[in-house]
């Protein structure tokens, strides 16, 4: 869910997805919809998960509530 709170991370993901997956990205505000299990870029999703820690997400979330 942290992807929408970080414009740079979102831009990185969109570009990397386009580079690695032949189909168009189907994405909502905080969800990515995969229509074909054979085309899920697990390596990319893994890289995305590593880019924001739980502590960073909590800090962003709490900062947005002020």
Q: Using one digit for the tens of pLDDT, what is the confidence trace for 10-56?
A: 999 999 999 999 999 999 877 899 998 998 999 999 999 899 888 98
Q: What is the mean pLDDT of residues 53-65?
A: 85
Residue 1 has pLDDT above 70, yes or no: no
At residue 19, the pLDDT reads 96
- Count the domains in the chain: 1
Helix (H, G, I), strand (E, B) or coil at 52: coil
**Containing domain of residue 16, as a range?**
2-64
Nearest to 1 by CA among 51, 37, 40, 38: 51
Confidence grade of residue 63 (pLDDT, cut at 50, 70, 90): confident
Distance CA 30, CA 52 (A): 14
Structure token pair of residue 26: 């189907």
Asked whether 32 and 26 are in contact (CB, 8 A), the reply is yes
Angstrom distances, CA of residue 29 to CA of 12, 16, 38 = 15, 18, 23
At residue 2, the pLDDT reads 73
């Amino acid at each position: 869910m942290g992807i929408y709170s970080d414009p740079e991370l979102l831009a990185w993901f969109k570009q990397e997805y386009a580079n690695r997956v032949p189909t168009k990205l189907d994405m909502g505000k905080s969800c990515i919809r995969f229509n074909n299990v054979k085309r899920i870029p697990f390596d990319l999703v893994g890289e995305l998960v590593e880019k924001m820690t739980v502590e960073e997400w909590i800090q962003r979330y709490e900062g947005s509530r002020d």
